[in-house]
Amino acid sequence: MPQKYVIGVDGGGSKTAAVVLDAAGQVHGRATTGSVNHHNVGLEQAEANLTQVMELALADAGLAPADLAAAAWALAGVDRPSERQLFEALANRLWPAIPIRVENDALAALVAGVGLTPGVTLIAGTGMIAYGRAADGRRARAGGWGYLFDVGSGYYLVRSALRRLSQAFDQGNMSSSTLLPALLQATQTAAVPELLAWMYGRERPIADIAALAPLVLTAAEETDLFALATVNEGAGALARAVRDVAQQLGFHEP
């Protein structure tokens, strides 16, 4: 009987990665594409990126869809039963011969960290979510509500830092910032008003804004006050999200 393979897809807010494995866990192929978070890029683009990453990973492994025994899609933005059903229908339409399980990407992160034991994981990338599972199978989450509401994500860091910079600009108090020149250079703008206009740019991808987050972190390390205030606020929110999940599941400190 010919060997069968599985493919796992980790779809985030900025990029999507796929890996092809055999029954022993050996990697045979990899691929990456853009985001599959349909809240950020739309369902049509999410479908295109999912299709591409599956095809590229199979090609890298020298395999065909018929060689797959199963697949798992762990996707950002799949938070509700209706969204899971949406992508399950998509999987059945695109890959009808392959059993595909659809989950939120936070579950994949949790299993990667603690296996099947109880625990809590935190994702802080373009978006953020804290997610946990108890020994009896109960699950809990905090955050993961999208770029408008999440605190502590990469998008949040940039948006919050720019809010502080815009307020300082209005007050004429910009001389001490090391963050502003870095942001201006990265966006090829000349001043705060142009920088804010760049943020509002037509169809500006969320991932492009979140990609500036490392500049905020670097400026915080350089003790830029605007960046420090932003990072401290975000870090506190992330810690509270983990605490909230632990409390929902009844976890206690040893």
Do 225 and 102 have their domain in common?
A: no
pTM of the model: 0.81
Q: Is the dihedral of CA 27, 32, 37, 42 positive or negative?
A: negative
Do 135 and 230 have their domain in common?
A: yes
- The whole-number pLDDT of residue 225 equals 92
Which residue, of 113, 136, 171, is where some domain finishes?
Answer: 113
Do 76 and 178 have their domain in common?
A: no
Do 101 and 177 have their domain in common?
A: no
- The whole-number pLDDT of residue 152 equals 94
For range 43-65, the mean pLDDT:
94
Which residue, of 113, 132, 163, is where some domain finishes?
Answer: 113
Q: What is the DSSP letter of 95?
A: -
Do 133 and 213 have their domain in common?
A: yes
Contact 57, 18 (CB under 8 A): yes
CA distance 199 to 201: 5
CA distance 104 to 84: 8
Q: What is the DSSP letter of 138?
A: -
On the question of pLDDT at 203 being above 80, the answer is no
Range of the domain at 27: 5-113
**CATH code of the domain containing 245:** 3.30.420.40
Do 31 and 153 have their domain in common?
A: no
Do 102 and 141 have their domain in common?
A: no
Of 50-59, 142-151, 162-171, the one with minimum mean pLDDT is 142-151
Do 143 and 245 have their domain in common?
A: yes
Do 240 and 157 have their domain in common?
A: yes
Do 191 and 221 have their domain in common?
A: yes
Q: Which CB contacts under 8 angstroms, 24+ apart, belong to 53-56?
A: 53/9, 53/16, 53/17, 53/18, 54/7, 54/9, 54/18, 54/95, 55/31, 56/18, 56/31
For range 67-91, the mean pLDDT:
91
**b/e sequence 216-226, b meaning 16+ C-beta within 10 Å:** beebbeeebbb
Q: Which CB contacts under 8 angstroms, 24+ apart, belong to 38-43?
A: 38/77, 38/83, 38/86, 39/77, 39/146, 39/147, 40/13, 40/77, 40/126, 40/147, 40/205, 40/206, 40/207, 41/205, 43/86
Contact 174, 168 (CB under 8 A): yes
Do 96 and 125 have their domain in common?
A: no
DSSP state letters, 153-173: SHHHHHHHHHHHHHHHHHHT-
CA distance 117 to 79: 22
Which residue, of 113, 128, 144, is where some domain finishes?
Answer: 113
- Residue pLDDT, tens place only, 9-50: 999 878 899 999 998 999 999 999 998 988 888 889 999 999
| Helices assigned H by DSSP within 77-224 | 81-94, 105-114, 154-171, 179-187, 192-199, 206-210, 213-221
Q: What share of the chain in percent tops pLDDT 70?
A: 98
Do 79 and 180 have their domain in common?
A: no
Q: Is the dihedral of CA 185, 189, 192, 197 positive or negative?
A: negative
What's the structural domain count of the chain? 2
On the question of pLDDT at 1 being above 60, the answer is no
Beta bridge partners of 3: none
